[in-house]
Amino acid sequence: MASVPFDQLDGFIWFNGEFVKWADAKIHVLTHGLHYASAVFEGERAYGGEIFKLNEHSERLLESARILGFRIPYSAEEINNACRMLLKKQGFADAYVRPIAWRGSEMMGVSAQNNRINCAIAIWQWPSYFDPEQRLKGIRLDIAEYRRPDPRTAPSKSKAAGLYMICTLSKHAAEAKGYADALMLDWRGRVAEATGANIFFVRDGKLHTPEPDCFLDGITRRTVIDLARRRGIEVVERAIMPEEMEGFEQCFLSGTAAEVTPVSEIGPYTFQVGEITRLLMNDYMSEVQPKHRVAAE
């Protein structure tokens, strides 16, 4: 992670179709996205100069905005090109990519039908999301107080900024207790996800993961499922109750930032960093690295 505040990093940000100096990429304090969370974003990673599954992320950004009732004034292809050009301009091979779109400051109030829709992309170098040493041994998760909401009460299929408020609260609470992250249940009390990553469990050689009916079906999640099936590992997507964790042997998280991260503990439940977890960690890294993909093909 950056050793200086993010607003003081060097380089450029793509902002509404132009490259502007990092320090000059500013918005007004009365922007609607800040006050009413009318913003959507993506998290992407570049490996070896290529952004993994870039078009899927760009398409999801557009769909997230549509769900929130606004249209981003750029196509997926235009956003893809902007990401690639910015990565080259920043001079990075391995980096984190953050596109974001939000309602501007033309109107202030809950209703903001005529506000400009802004779009920006920032790229910075961001290594492992979790402490690398802790990650190899398996990270420890608390069980969050807050739950993923009923999709009848929130736009859960959108990667919307406002939906992450309870994630920040839950991760802060977990870190205060010495944990790396927190497991969130859904409104029914079922296992859902971590604060910024999907979750998988292993039992008797099968992979079990919650059905994403009230949280994002992550792009990394889908990649891991595909990798597991290529290996002949059966994947079971279903409702998982917390007490079932006692019977699982392995556990790991998946996400663009988290990649594939083993879990050793969730509250009172413990897990081993086993063969399937290590196999999928390695397969995922081979999948995202361009040189490995070319060799495989």
DSSP letters, 26-82, are ---TT-HHHHH--EEE--EEEETTEETTHHHHHHHHHHHHHHTT---SS-HHHHHHH
Closest CA to 124 of 24, 7, 20, 18: 7
Residue 19: per-residue pLDDT: 98
* Segment 174-181 mean pLDDT: 97
Selected catalytic residue, list 89, 159, 171, 206:
159
Average pLDDT over residues 18-37: 97
Mean pLDDT of 61-90: 98
Under the banding of pLDDT at 50, 70 and 90, the label for residue 136 is confident
Q: What b/e string do you get for 161-180 counting C-beta neighbours within 10 Å, with b at 16 or more?
A: bbbbebbeebbebbeeeebb
Can 159 be counted among the known catalytic residues? yes
Q: Supply the pLDDT for residue 3.
A: 77
Q: How far apart are CA 239 and CA 1, in angstroms?
A: 34
Higher pLDDT, 180 or 294: 180
Residue 277, H or E segment: helix 275-288
The pLDDT tens digits of the residues spanning 188-242 come to 999 999 999 999 999 999 999 999 999 999 999 999 999 999 999 999 999 999 9
Superfamily of domain 132-292: D-amino Acid Aminotransferase, subunit A, domain 2 (3.20.10.10)
Average pLDDT, the chain: 95
Q: Predicted confidence band at 290 (pLDDT cuts at 50, 70, 90)?
A: confident
- Predicted confidence band of residue 72 (pLDDT cuts 50, 70, 90): very high
Q: pTM of the entire structure?
A: 0.93
- Cα–Cα dist 5/28, whole Å: 19
Classify domain 6-124 at the CATH topology level: D-amino Acid Aminotransferase; Chain A, domain 1 (3.30.470)
What is residue 292's predicted lDDT score, i.e. its pLDDT?
52
pLDDT classification of 291: cutoffs 50, 70, 90: low
Boundaries of every domain in the chain: 6-124, 132-292
* Strand pairing report for 117-124 and 95-103: antiparallel
Beta bridge partners of 141: 181, 266
